[in-house]
Amino acid sequence: MDPYLFIIIASGAIIVSHLFNVLAWRTNMPSVLMLIVLGLALHQVIAYYGLSQPGPIVNQVLNVLGISGLIMIVLEAALELKLSVIPRKLIIRSFFVALLTLAGTATAITFIIQYFVDADLFRCLVYAVPLSIVSSAIVLPSVARLQRDRRDFMVFESTFSDIMGIMFFYFLVDDHAGSSPLRIALNLTGNVLLTVVVSVLASFLLLWIFQRIRSRVKFFLLIAVLMLLYALGKKMNLSSLLIILIFGMMVSNQGLMFRGWVARFTGSSTMLNIERELHLVTAETAFVVRTFFFLVFGLTIDVRRLLDLDVLTIGAAVTGAIYLVKAVVVGALRVPGWRTVTLVAPRGLITILLAYNIPDHLRIPDRDGSLLLMVILATSVIMMIGLMANGRHHDLSTVEPSMHDDGQAGDAGLGVDR
């Protein structure tokens, strides 16, 4: 490709994505939904003019973008988790909502897929898990203007859903041949404990080192180190996402994490500066990665496949199960604002990323892209309706900016995607 043409396309995509964010801020329509639709339109333009269709290399690019976006999104979410200012009851309730919704939705979707598709129960479960995970990539920027208690609840719920869903997915696809259930449980527990210990030590060491780096150009170095730790952890079969989560939480909750003699090794002013700069870098990086990920995903899908009766039927059944299970769980746990909380259940980046990482021997043929797109579009539209309905009952202009709003409430005119 002509390098100048590539620069024009890439720059245009970022500019358009920025405009989508401004539109999303004013209409509650998810910007990622607009990016996917733009990708679908580009696919049709390419097909109409007989240009080369996206090949295997595009799927590889999508995979790399997805992993990078996943790391940025989890880090961004972890930086939002201010444990000192969030009621413990809210954290506990959001955890159980995420856990029960994930388990119930995965079970329901498993039986739905098995009913329609000729596949064994385990393969259906592997495919159901990605569809059961709430996407924090969409939730975080979309709930920025909600009342603070609902916003905090949804940030925690989507973060917990991401973490538990990803760990459960990779647990399923790992090779446990010949291992007893007790052995598998012990290995999983040991894996998590080892990852937590490594994460705490590595995070403390990273922060100690970076406080002493005087160069102004250092935060992408920090992100590069975190990505390296994530990739190495995956190669060693550790729960790598915990490394990113714990590092972000140590930065955002430095007052709780660094006490006593440990506090002597950290400077409060320096740590606050690291937190502030890291917020900015992760938000901007996540915006760019998210832009190209959803655009490329839309580009790989032929919209005509959505007209397939099987895709429509399975997609409608899966979408119905998602909201039925969540309504039951949210109602049973008496979550405030249950209507809005129930309707905010979008699927997105993590759903796509995990579905594309299902091993070939567990994959359900010819269903992946179109069914994923159907569910993502449906849940995004339903979330938009829920947020609009919530806006009609509350004066959102009086909601104060918070740490969740940087790039949204504080800079609404800029429309920075978070």
Tell me whether residue 257 is in a domain.
yes
- Report how far residue 248's alpha carbon sits from residue 235's, in angstroms, rounded to the nearest whole number: 22
pLDDT on residue 266: 62
Residue 99 has what pLDDT?
94
Task: Give the helix/strand (H/E) hosting 409.
Answer: none
Other residues' Cβ atoms within 10 Å of the Cβ of residue 208: 12
Which residues neighbour 240 within 8 Å (Cβ) at sequence distance 6 or greater? 195, 229, 230, 231, 232, 233, 234
Does the residue 414 lie in any domain?
no
Quote the tokens at residue 224: 């590069």
179 lies in a domain? Answer: yes
Hunting for tokens 């459960």 — which residue is that? Answer: 168
What integer pLDDT is reported at residue 254 of this predicted model?
72
Domain count, the chain: 1
Would you state the structure tokens that stand for residue 170, as one six-digit string?
């990779």
For the four alpha carbons of 364, 369, 370 and 374, in that order, the dihedral sign comes to positive
Residue 402: predicted pLDDT: 39
d(CA 273, CA 269): 6
Is 410 within the bounds of a domain?
no
What pLDDT shows up at residue 203? 83
At 371 the pLDDT is: 85
Task: Using the structure block, give the residue that is written with the tokens 């401004």.
Answer: 22
Q: What is the CATH number of the domain that holds 190?
A: 1.20.1530.20
pLDDT of residue 180: 67
**Confidence (pLDDT) at 415:** 35
Q: Over its length of 418 residues, how does the chain's per-residue pLDDT go in tens digits? A: 567 877 888 898 899 988 988 888 777 778 888 888 888 888 777 777 766 655 666 677 778 888 888 888 778 777 877 776 677 788 889 999 999 999 999 999 999 998 988 788 888 999 999 999 998 878 877 787 778 788 888 888 888 888 888 888 888 887 666 666 677 777 778 878 888 888 888 888 887 887 777 777 777 888 888 888 888 888 877 777 788 888 888 887 776 776 666 666 665 666 777 778 888 888 888 888 888 888 888 887 777 777 778 888 999 999 999 999 999 999 999 888 888 889 999 998 888 888 888 888 888 765 557 888 889 889 988 988 888 877 655 544 444 433 333 333 333 333 333 3
pTM above 0.85, yes or no: no
Q: Is 416 helix (H, G, I), strand (E, B) or coil?
A: coil
Is 102 part of a structural domain of the chain?
yes
Residue 99: name the closest of 148, 145, 192, 163 by CA.
Answer: 163
Residue 415 lies in a domain: no
Domain-embedded: residue 411: no
What confidence score (pLDDT) does residue 339 get? 86
Q: Is residue 364 included in any domain, yes or no?
A: yes
**CA separation for the pair 146, 97 (Å, rounded):** 19
Q: Cα Rg for the chain, rounded, in angstroms?
A: 21
State which residues form the domain around 201: 3-405
Q: How much of the chain is in helix, strand and coil states, percent to nearest 5?
A: 75, 0, 25
